């Protein structure tokens, strides 16, 4: 059995491997800094990449909860979401600073995204407070 290749060039990699490699190189150009200063650029690039792979929903939806009497379809949906969440989380962790990785390396993609958003919102809140405080001090 042969591996399908793109006949337009001499590369022998399967199309999916070339695609994933290209996407990973795009993400590696925008690594998330420890201080989160480039979060908006990083998350935009990550979302573009995930959208291309039809996995962007993983950032916005937590895994479904299975009840005791889950149907086979619910189990399949859960397993698919769990597997894709694991892959997206690994991708996210691979494209961020190692100090950030240490704190969230065992989390799912949805939880990582929520934590990062909260961290960035808190930093923005503190910056706004500092600016208002400086402004008030100048006014007096």
pLDDT for position 24: 67
Record the pTM. Answer: 0.70
Is residue 33 classed exposed, middle or buried when 0-12, 13-18 and 19+ CB atoms within 10 A define those classes? middle
Paired residues of 5 in beta bridges: 14
H/E element, 102: helix 98-104
3-state secondary structure of 32: strand
What is the model's pLDDT at position 57?
94
d(CA 25, CA 46): 12
Angle formed at CA 24 by CA 117 and CA 49, multiple of 5 degrees:
55
Question: Averaged in consecutive runs of 10 residues, what is the pLDDT profile of the chain (140 residues)?
Answer: 42 42 66 86 90 92 89 93 93 88 89 90 76 75
pLDDT score recorded for residue 20: 52
- 115, 106, 62: which is closest to 84 by C-alpha? 62
Helix (H) / strand (E) containing 84: helix 72-94
Is residue 130 classed exposed, middle or buried when 0-12, 13-18 and 19+ CB atoms within 10 A define those classes?
exposed
Q: What pLDDT, on the 0 to 100 scale, is given for residue 21?
A: 47
């Amino acid at each position: 059995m042969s591996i399908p290749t793109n006949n337009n060039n001499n590369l022998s990699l399967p199309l999916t491997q070339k695609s994933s490699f290209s996407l990973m190189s795009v993400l590696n150009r925008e690594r998330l800094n420890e201080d989160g200063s480039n979060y908006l650029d990083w998350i935009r690039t990550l979302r573009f990449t995930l959208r291309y792979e039809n996995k962007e929903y993983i950032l916005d939806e937590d895994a479904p909860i299975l009840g005791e009497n889950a149907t086979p379809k619910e189990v399949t949906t859960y397993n698919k979401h769990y597997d894709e969440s694991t892959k997206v989380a690994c991708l996210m962790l691979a494209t961020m600073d190692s100090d950030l990785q240490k704190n969230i390396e065992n989390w799912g993609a949805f939880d990582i995204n929520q934590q990062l958003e909260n961290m960035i919102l808190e930093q923005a809140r503190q910056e706004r407070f500092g600016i208002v405080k400086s402004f008030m001090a100048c006014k007096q």
